[in-house]
Amino acid sequence: MLEKVKKLIEKAGWPRVIIGLFLLSLFFTAPFVGIRVSTSISDTIVRFAMNAVLVLSLIPMVQSGCGLNFGMQLGVIAGLIGAITSIELGVTGIAGFLTAIGIAIPFAVLLGFFYGLLLNMVKGDEMVVATYVGFSSVAFMSMMWLLLPFKSPNMIWGYGGEGLRTTISVEGYWLGVLNNFLSIRIGHFFFPTGTIIFISLIALVVWAFFKTKLGTAMTAAGSNPVYARAAGVNVNRMRVLSVVISTVIAAIGILVYEQSFGFIQLYMAPLLMAFPAVAALLLGGASVSKASMGNVIVGTFLFQGILTMTPSVMNNLIKSDMSEVIRIIVSNGMIVYALTRRMKVRT
């Protein structure tokens, strides 16, 4: 019995076991501090659904050896452009959401392509360079949001008459188009069926991609570039392709996030977007060079679960706001943990 438990723990990995137990204990404590369990669970699921696609977007780049996509903001920016353009066009409902995706994808492909070329020039330091690509692109877009000629009164500043607002509501356009599709509501429990289906679809596509000849070549390029080259794979092309795919999925991911969250956040809001996603993937057991769908699902659930539960439970327990502190400790701690583990494998 003990042996079995030991093996199970080893298979899951200590970080997941510890965080999982912690999350479980939070669910058990919740009723005693006056928090409804059904609300807690459905909050966790909704947040999981909001973030899963963003976390998923990291996979292609990890698999191709480009490391964790700390420059996810590029994809996010493409998504934001799609979102505001669809609102400018005034398309509502699911059509509006699809329009946003349709507009976002070409931008994501273009940005991803150049981003991929850049990463090929800095092999070995992808993650450091990516971080600054992400940061600087957000700063650049902060100027662009002011200058771009959008006219919809729902989006521009009330006083100057030009420049986009920091926060734009998607209410009346495509708020909850996925979340509410076939959704289930029992008392205080809410299940966002549409979003979960949408996530499953994207996950299926990504999974299938890595089952194809091309996807296998990409995995090999990441696992051992010299081996891949000796087998006739153009490693640089694989890497660029993976960056493009990652960026496109990130663009879709932010739209899924917004339809659930209800707001498009511009300017500095996307600045730290990559960190929680990266932390979730690592928490799920992925490494810098290997990640699977399982890592995405487990990681996102645990990470978002902690983020949902700690503020409400802890705040009620100690009567002070700890949520931000816990979020920072968990997400950055996870990143540090994973990066140190990579060093061990290398030497």
Distance of closest approach, residue 62 Cβ to other proteins, in angstroms: 12
Distance of closest approach, residue 291 Cβ to other proteins, in angstroms: 12
Phi, psi of 185 (to 5 degrees): -130, 115
Applying CB under 8 A, which of residues 32, 132, 140, 227 lies at the interface with other proteins? Answer: 227
Buried b (16+ CB within 10 A) or exposed e, 38-74: ebbbbbbbbbbbbbbbbbbbbbbbbbbbbbbbbbbbb
Q: Does 247 bind other proteins (CB under 8 A)?
A: no
Identify any residues that bridge with 191 across adjacent strands, giving them in sequence order: 184
Q: Whose Cβ is closer to other proteins: residue 112's or residue 225's?
A: 225
The position carrying tokens 């679960």 is 305
Distance of closest approach, residue 213 Cβ to other proteins, in angstroms: 4
3-state secondary structure (DSSP) of residue 7? helix
Enumerate residues 200-219 that contact other proteins by CB under 8 A.
Answer: 211-217, 219
Are 96 and 87 within 8 A, CB to CB? yes
Q: Does 232 bind other proteins (CB under 8 A)?
A: yes
**If binding means CB under 8 A, how many residues of this protein chain bind other proteins?**
20
3-state secondary structure (DSSP) of residue 69? coil
Pairing between strand 189-191 and 184-186?
A: antiparallel
Q: Distance between CA 177 and CA 247 in Å, rounded?
A: 23
Enumerate residues 257-316 that contact other proteins by CB under 8 A.
Answer: 289-290
Distance of closest approach, residue 252 Cβ to other proteins, in angstroms: 21
CA distances from 312 to 37, 48, 226, 300 (A): 11, 17, 50, 19
Phi, psi of 265 (to 5 degrees): -105, 125
Q: Does 323 bind other proteins (CB under 8 A)?
A: no
Q: Whose Cβ is closer to other proteins: residue 1's or residue 226's?
A: 226
Compose the 149-188 pattern: x for residues touching other proteins by CB under 8 A, - for all others. ----------------------------------------
Q: Whose Cβ is closer to other proteins: residue 4's or residue 213's?
A: 213
Residues that bind other proteins (CB under 8 A): 211-217, 219-220, 223-224, 226-227, 229-233, 289-290
